[in-house]
Structure 1
Amino acid sequence: MVGNPDFLTGRGQDQAPEFQELESPEGELHLRFFVPSGNEFALPAIGIREVISPTPDRITPIPNVSPLLLGTLNVRGRVIWVADLGQFLGDSAPLNTDRPDISVIAIEDQDLMMGLAVDRIHEMDWLDIEDIQMPTSVPDSMAPFLRGEWVINPDADTVLRLLDQIAILRSARWAT
């Protein structure tokens, strides 16, 4: 087989004579997801430690803490707080925890790590930061945690909002 000239040149019966050119992605990689109200958000992939789907019984409720916190989760020996991201951002619909698993996005900055529980993960997507716009009509409870938004469908007024994970991690809301 090694003596076969087709093997050495990389040309065989199953290879096309021309190379296919791969498109290089534009922008930066982001994780897109939904909160219970149906609003779609994105976080930069660089700020995400990991995405996990624990069963609800793995999240331990802690008494006398902020109602935004669902409890704690042990992730490979490290205990992290898990929060209902939708309620943190001001949505009235709480996260449904009566299901087989909960999508949790673990974000990290320096020594701080937190899990953001969301309704569902959509996809990873390359988004161009230069196309981002300042949010036009957002609730005051959400505004401090937004970097901007992309208009996905202008006819349906559909937007994808980019969150600032460091502002979320360092928020004073966790103390209340």
Structure 2
Amino acid sequence: MIGNPDFLTARGPDQAPELQALESPEGELHLRFFTTSGDEFALPATGIKEVISVPPDRITPIPNVSPLLLGTLNVRGRVVWVADLGQFLGDATLLSTDRPEISVVAVEDQDTMLALAVDRIYGMVWLDIEEILMPTNVPDGMAPFLRGEWVFHNEGDRRLRLLDQVAILRSARWAA
């Protein structure tokens, strides 16, 4: 049967019609998520080390550190700082830790890892980097950490802002 040419081409009498060719996605893969303010952001998949949901009691609070930091977390044997990304970007509302799990996005650059706690994760999407625009109406505290934004005119001018994880990791705000 395997030597039968009809078997190899899926054209035999008992074979299903030919499958449609899968379309290759356009753009680059990104993780979409929301902060407590409801703002929507994206990070390139290439800069993400891991995405996890953790119970709040697995984040160990550390006294006398920046108020932006929720504490530390053990990520595969490595102790990593966990930060409230929304507060880091200027949200007035703190991330609620009064819930069963907190969504955390671990980003890494040159052996420096930081876990960014976010309100909720939308998922992975393909986005065309060629369509990115310079951000407009952005708070001054957020601007240094943005690469640009996508504006979806067919969705009421919804904005999806692309974050620069290296700028976030290297920020002087962590020392405050």
Q: Structure 2 length normalisation: TM-score?
A: 0.93
Gaps (5+ residues) in structure 1?
Answer: none
Q: List per-residue Cα deviations over 1:111-130 (Å, max 9, x = no partner).
A: 10000000000021111111
| Distance of aligned partners of 1:168 and 1:14 in 2 relative to their CA distance in 1, 3 Å threshold | same
Q: Structure 1 length normalisation: TM-score?
A: 0.93
| Distance of aligned partners of 1:25 and 1:155 in 2 relative to their CA distance in 1, 3 Å threshold | closer
Residue 167 (structure 1) aligns with: 167
Give, in whole Å, the separation in 1 of the partners of 2:155 and 2:49.
35
Please state how far the C-alpha of 1:7 moved relative to its aligned partner: 4.2
Is the counterpart of residue 146 in structure 1 residue 146 in structure 2?
Answer: yes
Q: How does 1:69-80 map to 2 (within 5 A)?
A: 69-80=69-80
Runs of 4 or more, structure 1, over 2 Å off, are 1-14, 153-157
Please state how far the C-alpha of 1:3 moved relative to its aligned partner: 7.0
Give, in whole Å, the separation in 1 of the partners of 2:7 and 2:157.
55
Please state how far the C-alpha of 1:157 moved relative to its aligned partner: 3.2
Give, in whole Å, the separation in 2 of the partners of 1:82 and 1:47.
16
Please state how far the C-alpha of 1:158 moved relative to its aligned partner: 1.4
Q: List per-residue Cα deviations over 1:77-121 (Å, max 9, x = no partner).
A: 100000000000000011011111100000000110000000000
Residue 119 (structure 2) aligns with: 119
Residue 35 (structure 1) aligns with: 35
Q: How many residues align?
A: 175
Percent identical among aligned pairs is 76
Give, in whole Å, the separation in 2 of the partners of 1:154 and 1:142.
25
Please state how far the C-alpha of 1:22 moved relative to its aligned partner: 1.2
Residue 16 (structure 2) aligns with: 15
